Amino acid sequence: MAEGVDENYYTQNDHLAAIGFQAQPGDIYYMNPPKELSSYPMFIDNPKKNEKTVGSYISYTLDGADMTEKLPRRYSDFFSLYEKLLQRWPGIYIPRLPPKKVIGNMDPSVIKTRMRLLNRFCLNLSNIEYLYKSEEANIFRNNIPDVANAINKLPELSLADMLGRMKEAFPEYNQNYDVIVGRSKITEFEQFMKKTQKYLEDFMKSVNTASEKNEMDKKQYNELITGFKNYEKENMLYYADGNENALIFINPSNNELSEKVLKLKQEMVNPFVALRDWLQEEVLDVEAMQVAIEQFYGLLKQEEKLKAKLVELEEDVKKGQQGQVNIFKTIFKKKEDVIAETEKEKEITQQKIADIEEIIKIVGDNLENQMEIFKNDKTNNYYKYLKIFSIMQREANRVIREIWSLVGSSLKDIMPNYDQEGAYHENTGYDDYSGQKEQEVQHEEEAQDQNYAQENEIHDNVENQEQNEEQPQPQEGEGGEGAEGGEGGEEPQE
């Protein structure tokens, strides 16, 4: 484990789990995979600091359901895998890695974030079968001494080999794919990606600012509670002639409040962490789409170059047949051999053009499908993280309410007339205000609970209605009330 990192730094927040938030690979606070998730094909855990001759690095343990042994992997190994996948699957959506970080990569918070995003990369890669079972990923998951070097040594694929693996990965691609129409759609989507990336970066700045402020508020709130405790110790204990039962925060008999105060720091969750993690994932996914689109354009440019080369070769063949072979090409060769080689190169170029045209169809068709998947995923992620943020925000408010509810209960025990209006602050109006606010808070909580109950009821009704609509309705003579053959009709067949 990295130096200076708390031993529980990478574990799931059990308190969030208790309120209905179940961590998944890639989710907030998901660092070490919970035991019930060990069936995932690939994940990392156990971050460990390693010293080397110059500097140090963090390694992780790579594990998974279909792996025979646990393997050490570092960020550079992941990066080699990612780069090689990009090279050998051009234009295909490849899950994005968290960015390199030259300075501060040993900071615990950086390690925590990187581990979460690397786990998300592992999960996303595992869900793309043709990538997960590719030659590149198979090397990554095997026990090889220098896995990064082994991956980097994989040769570039010829267009023919690339086309073969893409046909195998996408056997049902649209062979009549219209590249011109498709390019227009992809260009429109690319423009949207560029616009949304700028917005996400600005949104991220706002969320980071809010997150930092929330952390400062948590710190100040804990200092506030400490101030109350010190005041009771240094002042109230004297004013009460040493009677500890007259105290609130350090009253030895007030165990419930004492325990709640002790847990305050760990229970005061920061809801903006959820938004920050969500936006980090959004940015990576947008970048992944942009890389795939850029590679699609790269294939189109490669096709143009091959077609330009074919024009030149055809011109050379034509001139050769007319006896106008370039003199520099015939210094060491006969004219007939030069013409024959040009003809051969022309045939090879024609085949390359045919291959890349088919590759472009596969990639374009796949990109359009990926664009639809992308939009659906982004919609679902938005709802998911908004729900998480809502839960965490309510949880943060609940922690504060519980503290002051316990304080109120303690005051009632000490002050017999606590609930009598104006008993202790005559003419100040404080009791009127506090009583009114307490009622407002109570009504608000009751309204929130009622709204959540109604939402759940509506959701259940909608689900039941959808299920009922999916079931085939009984036709005339097939049963149901009023059908021929009796009230119940015939018995349904198994």
Tokens coding 262: 């002790």
- Calculate the alpha carbon distances from 91 to 88, 94, 188, 215 in Å: 10, 9, 16, 42
Q: Is residue 300 part of a domain?
A: yes
> Tens digit of pLDDT for each residue in 119-137?
889 989 998 999 999 999 9
Same domain (yes/no): 139, 187: no
Q: pTM of the predicted model, to two decimals? A: 0.76
CA–CA dist 184, 131 (Å, integer) = 27
Residue 63 counted as domain residue? yes
Which residues are CB-neighbours of 401 under 8 A, at least 6 positions away? 441
Does one domain contain both 135 and 184? Answer: no
Q: Please indicate, yes or no, whether residues 291 and 351 belong to a single structural domain of this protein.
A: yes
Q: What is the CATH number of the domain that holds 405?
A: 1.20.1270
> Angle at CA 200, nearest 5°, toward 199 and 203?
85
pLDDT tens by residue, 321-377: 776 766 555 555 677 787 888 899 999 999 999 999 999 999 999 999 999 999 999
118 and 184 both lie in a single domain: no
Residue entry with tokens 């938004």: 275
118 lies in the same domain as 36: yes
- We report the CATH number of the domain holding residue 27 as 3.30.1520.10
Query: 131 CB contacts (<8 Å, ≥6 apart)?
Result: 85, 89, 92, 94, 125, 137
Q: Is residue 379 part of a domain?
A: yes
403 in the same domain as 274 = yes
Q: Rounded to whole angstroms, how far apart are CA atoms 129 and 125?
A: 8
pLDDT at position 65 over 50: yes
Domain boundary among 359, 389, 421: 421
Helix, strand, or coil (residue 235): helix
Instruction: State which amino acid sits at residue 74.
Output: R
474 within a domain of the structure (yes/no): no
Give the residue with greater pLDDT, 315 vs 481: 315
Range of the domain at 249: 177-421
Q: What is the DSSP letter of 67?
A: -
Q: In terms of domains, do 121 and 206 share one?
A: no
Q: Please tell me whether residue 74 adopts helix, strand or coil conformation.
A: strand
Rounded to the nearest integer, the mean pLDDT of the chain is: 80
**For the chain, how many structural domains are there in total?**
2
pLDDT tens per residue across span 76-96: 999 999 999 999 999 999 999
Domain assignment of residue 481, yes or no? no
Q: Is the separation of the CB atoms in 288 and 95 below 8 Å?
A: yes
Share of the chain above pLDDT 90, in %: 49
Q: Are residues 334 and 193 in the same domain?
A: yes
Q: How confident is the model at residue 38 (pLDDT cuts 50, 70, 90)?
A: low
Question: By the 8 A CB rule, do 362 and 167 touch?
Answer: yes
pLDDT in tens, 449-467: 565 555 555 445 544 554 5
> Range with the lowest mean pLDDT among 66-80, 301-315, 431-445, 474-488?
474-488
Tracing tokens 């009796």 back to the chain, one arrives at 486
Q: Which of 421, 452, 484 is the last residue of a domain?
A: 421
Q: Strand 56-63's sheet: what is its strand order? A: 43-51, 56-63, 71-74
Q: Which pLDDT score is estimated for 493?
A: 40
Q: Is residue 452 part of a domain?
A: no
**How many other CB atoms are found less than 10 A from the CB of residue 152?**
12
- The angle, 0 to 180 degrees and rounded to 10, between the axes of the packed helices 335-414 and 179-231 is 30
Same domain, 243 and 352: yes
Q: Decide if 162 is inside a domain.
A: no
Is 118 found in the same domain as 206? Answer: no
Most confident stretch, 39-43, 385-389, 465-469:
385-389
Q: Both 207 and 130 in a single domain?
A: no
Candidate from 74-78, 251-255, 381-385 with smallest mean pLDDT: 381-385
**Residues 407, 277: one domain?**
yes
In a domain, 252, yes or no: yes
Q: What is the mean pLDDT of residues 464-473?
A: 52
Q: How much is the pLDDT for 484? A: 41
